Amino acid sequence: MIGKCPHCGIDLTIPNTNNTSNRITNEVILVMTYRSRLDSNQPPKPIKETGSCEICNATLEDLKEMIDNS
């Protein structure tokens, strides 16, 4: 298991403490979604541009919280 989102790199093993985020943690679904986006030449947009990861739905606040807790 990779344990991280292939796009944003958020640690999927850490529980989501931000209840406003609807983050996906199923690695199979995440990898399949990421690969389908790459295969169709529509790579996910940067998180800073969209405000959340287009693959796992993690928000910028989720990423900042993960960095602060490491």
Which tokens belong to 1? Answer: 């298991």
Give me the residue spans of the domains in the chain.
Answer: 1-70
Contacts by residues 14-19 (CB-CB < 8 Å, ≥ 24 positions apart): 14/66, 14/69, 16/62, 17/65, 18/59, 18/61, 18/62, 18/65
Does residue 67 have a pLDDT over 70? Answer: yes
For 22-46, the pLDDT digits (tens) are 888 899 999 999 999 999 999 999 9
pLDDT for residue 18: 66
24 within 8 A of 56, measured Cβ to Cβ: yes
